[in-house]
Amino acid sequence: MTATDPALTALSQGWCALSLLHGRIESHIERALEAGHGLSMREYSLLDVLDRQHMGPGGHLQMKQVADAVVLSQSATTRLVSRLEERGLLTRYICATDRRGIYTDVTDAGRTLLEEARPTNDAALREALDEAAENPELAPLVRVVEELRVPGRPAPAEA
């Protein structure tokens, strides 16, 4: 294949469209969360991941798992946890069975803020997808996102 190969060009165009959709959604949600709740999208995602951790098997996530879930490096995740801990939204504690393990938990204040922000996040996501669906280049991707089902999570109608 060469750089001018039609398959590579189509692949590149698809990637650009996906990147554009992601950027539009992220910036729309970011503005809504920041304006309504003083949260960045990463902060919201971290609170959401940590809040859900106790509902799954095992009850706790290692920092690498949390970093993967919020799509950040481990060091960036640690800094984010520290900022939210300073705001009283998270707390850290040492594992009772393995003193090397440090767990992070959402505080009552963090859980309250998360519950207040969740409808804002959901509405901003819906708005961003509806707006993107009007763009012929992005509409097929929006349909894919709307039909996507993450294993282990209920479908939107079941939630």
Q: What is the CATH number of the domain that holds 133?
A: 1.10.10.10
- Tokens representing 17? 């469209």
pLDDT digits (tens, 9 = 90+) for 27-69: 999 999 999 999 999 999 999 999 888 655 555 777 788 888 8
Q: Does any domain span residue 155?
A: no
Residue 89: inside a domain: yes
Question: Does residue 87 form part of some domain?
Answer: yes
Residue 62 lies in a domain: yes
Q: Is the pTM of this model over 0.85?
A: no
**18 within some domain:** yes
Distance CA 25, CA 5 (A): 30
Look at the chain and report how many structural domains it folds into: 1
Range of the domain at 123: 13-141
Could you tell me if residue 48 is inside a domain? yes
Over residues 94-108, the pLDDT tens digits come to: 777 777 777 788 999
Tokens representing 10 are 């189509």
